[in-house]
Amino acid sequence: SQKIEQNSEALNIQEGKTATLTCNYTNYSPAYLQWYRQDPGRGPVFLLLIRENEKEKRKERLKVTFDTTLKQSLFHITASQPADSATYLCALADNAGNNRKLIWGLGTSLAVNP
């Protein structure tokens, strides 16, 4: 069956450390994968997009990797800050289907402690 899995447990880290979040997928062929941030009571906010032929993407303190052999994307926040506390969602667009439609993971809750 097709599925997208993210760290099910909340991640608690100390300010200044690097947070690493995982997104694994099964039986999809992603055209690209996106990471979003969602705060309580708000809609998701786009962070980064990585295409199937890219290995790594960076934006300021954020880094995303994409390994199509492992069927995994990792999302890193370096020098984390309490303001980074939120839920982080991965979403993929499937080549095999209608790639306008994003398929979402459940999200991982990150808490950065001061």
Binding site for other proteins (CB under 8 A): 4, 32, 34, 41-46, 49, 89, 91, 93, 98-107
Shortest distance in whole angstroms from residue 16 CB to other proteins: 29
The CA–CA distances, whole Å, from 9 to 65, 85, 109 equal: 21, 14, 7
- Closest approach of Cβ 89 to other proteins, in Å? 6
Residue 16 vs 97, nearer CB to other proteins: 97
Element (H, E) at 75: strand 72-77
41: left (phi over 0), alpha (psi -120 to 50) or beta: left
Distance CA 81, CA 113 (A): 8
Nearer to other proteins, 79 or 106 (CB): 106
Quote the least distance from Cβ 1 to other proteins, whole Å.
16
